[in-house]
Structure 1
Amino acid sequence: MTPETSPSKWFHYVVRREQPTVRLFCLSGAGAGPSEFISWGKSLPAWIETWPIQLPGRERRMREQSMTSLEGITGAVLEAVHGVQAELPGARTAFFGHSFGALVLYETCSRMTTLDPQAVLGIAVSGLSAPHCVSNNPMGDLSDSELTERIMSFGGTPKELMRNPQFTAWLLADIRNCYQIYEKYRTSATQSPLDCPVSAFVGRDDFEASIGDASAWNDHTTADFRLHVLDGGHFYLRPQLLRVLSLLTADLESWSSR
């Protein structure tokens, strides 16, 4: 492990548990950071320990350069997760990713299970179409004004924040970077199915992932698959948080009993 992949740098808002049996590594979507998961650590049962992932270029690492390749992000996250596993053995590893975060953790999970089919308890992907589905909302090459208009049409970002030039510049750069990575990946994805269970969470009115495209994640696992459809759009997580945590807890419980 290097200083660049030290757990203290890559994980924030971790609520330590006395004897966790599952460590849940979480990653948010474009334009968001680990603070999205602040409440998860205390809201989930004591046997689940939540580890929100802090990417460069976001929140506490705002001054750092964002990473521009999926391979680079995945490799760094993988090494950071391995660092936690080495320092704190005993608990099983699970993942929850939303949107772009789901893509990163899916790739991380794939690399881990390729080396060891038992390395990951399971993964929950949220607000993301299955890798083989075609995107209907290309955004990576939009101009600043077009991208701003698209972001505001989605909701989820307060208008007062968009009046702050510094915040707007950061948000546009982060979202554009994530979409450019995502759209490039989608045209060349040939991933083998995972050997661990997959649960797909999706908002009923999500503009990014239809229910059909979310259910297509079933093609990407040789193990159990569950589809959870919740009221709301791409940002369903916040208003539906208690329901999400209840479903996720049930999934983790089921996976643990395999």
Structure 2
Amino acid sequence: MTAWFPRIARRTDARVRLVCLGGAGTGSTEFATWHHGLPEWVEVWAAQLPGRERRIREAPAKTMAELADPLAEELQQDGPPVVLFGHSFGALIAYEVARRLEVAGLAVASTVVPHLQATRLPVTNDDDETLLAWARSANGTDPELLADERFARWLAEDLRVTLRIRRDYPAVLPERLRCPVLAIGGAGDPDATAVDLAEWRQYAAAGFDQVEIGSGHFFLRDERDSLLTALTGHLDRWILGSS
């Protein structure tokens, strides 16, 4: 285990490493129970970004390169194939890692395609009041935590850094990935509609699928089992070659 991957559910017969990246304001604990719902041949690697959870004392990354470069380097080691899963901002990071590293698949959830990131920000201002109001409306954070002044200040800063990275992201369509891509969303999510998710097809040179699970931006929490079932089906195809 490393600072970037403090939570790894080791499997002796692992056939794939499922590397998971959460959205703004979340950490590796977002995926703490995932290994219980996945087959024994799937080893879950939950990423921890600087400035969050166990790395709270570190300054958060200010650029995408500060996140994607060390993550790709951490994953360049002997072992089973890597599949990346990212939710929201974590999906953008996962995509950037996939550009730097040969992976067996990419699953993105609840986010628009990279070249639209800068034009699809959920808020126009990044002051604390605006950011915390956005966090409340998204229903992704416990209201009791938001009522804690110290936590609220930390969350606002994490959201602010995330938005700045998205705002600086280039609005050009890059080369497509050499791995298959799965785009997943919840019904009624205003930040990533079904039409938005379908645009990920432009990034997939080796196959594309799209599924809708549950509703809202944080369907991965309410519909964890359904999400893991869908992921398992795609891992079967990508890794084991099942039809």
Which of the five TM-score ranges fits, normalised by the shorter chain?
Answer: over 0.9
Whether the aligned pair in 2 keeps the contact of 1:133 and 1:213 (CA below 8 Å) is no
Q: Does 1:18 align with 2:7?
A: no
Cα deviation, residue 224, structure 1:
1.0
Give the Cα separation in 1 of the matches to 2:162 and 2:121. Answer: 13
Whether the aligned pair in 2 keeps the contact of 1:139 and 1:176 (CA below 8 Å) is no
Show the 5 A alignment for 1:34-113.
34-82=28-76, 85-86=77-78, 89=79, 91-112=80-101
Give the Cα separation in 2 of the matches to 1:154 and 1:128. Answer: 14
Show the 5 A alignment for 1:132-147.
132-133=115-116, 135-139=119-123, 141-147=125-131
Whether the aligned pair in 2 keeps the contact of 1:21 and 1:47 (CA below 8 Å) is yes
Tell me, what secondary structure is at the counterpart of 1:101?
helix
Whether the aligned pair in 2 keeps the contact of 1:140 and 1:183 (CA below 8 Å) is no
Superposition RMSD on alpha carbons, in Å? Answer: 1.4
The aligned amino acid for 2:44 is T
In the TM superposition, what whole-angstrom CA distance separates every residue of 1:127-169 from its partner, at most 9, and x where no partner exists?
1111233644443632211211121111121211111111001
Give the Cα separation in 2 of the matches to 1:33 and 1:43. Answer: 19
Show the 5 A alignment for 1:1-258.
7-82=1-76, 85-86=77-78, 89=79, 91-112=80-101, 119-133=102-116, 135-139=119-123, 141-185=125-169, 187-258=170-241
Question: Structure 1's 140 and 23: CA in aligned 2 closer, same or farther, altered over 3 A?
Answer: farther
Q: Alignment identity in percent?
A: 36
Question: Structure 1's 150 and 26: CA in aligned 2 closer, same or farther, altered over 3 A?
Answer: same
Tell me, what secondary structure is at the counterpart of 1:19?
coil
Taking structure 2 as the reference length, the TM-score comes to: 0.94
Higher mean C-alpha displacement, 205-214 vs 25-34: 205-214
Question: Structure 1's 144 and 79: CA in aligned 2 closer, same or farther, altered over 3 A?
Answer: same
Cα deviation, residue 207, structure 1:
2.1
Give the Cα separation in 2 of the matches to 1:128 and 1:177. Answer: 17
Give the Cα separation in 2 of the matches to 1:224 and 1:10. Answer: 29
Task: Return 5+ residue gaps in structure 1 as ranges.
Answer: 1-6, 113-118
Cα deviation, residue 189, structure 1:
3.4
The aligned amino acid for 1:129 is V
In the TM superposition, what whole-angstrom CA distance separates every residue of 1:62-119 from its partner, at most 9, and x where no partner exists?
011101000111101111112xx23xx2x1111000011110110110112xxxxxx2
After the TM superposition, list the runs of 4 or more consecutive aligned residues in structure 1 that deviate by more than 4 angstroms: none
The aligned amino acid for 2:40 is A
The aligned amino acid for 2:166 is Y
How many residues are aligned here? 240
Tell me, what secondary structure is at the counterpart of 1:153?
helix
Cα deviation, residue 28, structure 1:
0.2
Whether the aligned pair in 1 keeps the contact of 2:116 and 2:171 (CA below 8 Å) is no
In the TM superposition, what whole-angstrom CA distance separates every residue of 1:182-224 from its partner, at most 9, and x where no partner exists?
1221x43332100100000111111211110101101101111
Residue of structure 2 equivalent to 1:3: none
Give the Cα separation in 2 of the matches to 1:205 and 1:227. Answer: 15
The aligned amino acid for 2:9 is V
Taking structure 1 as the reference length, the TM-score comes to: 0.89
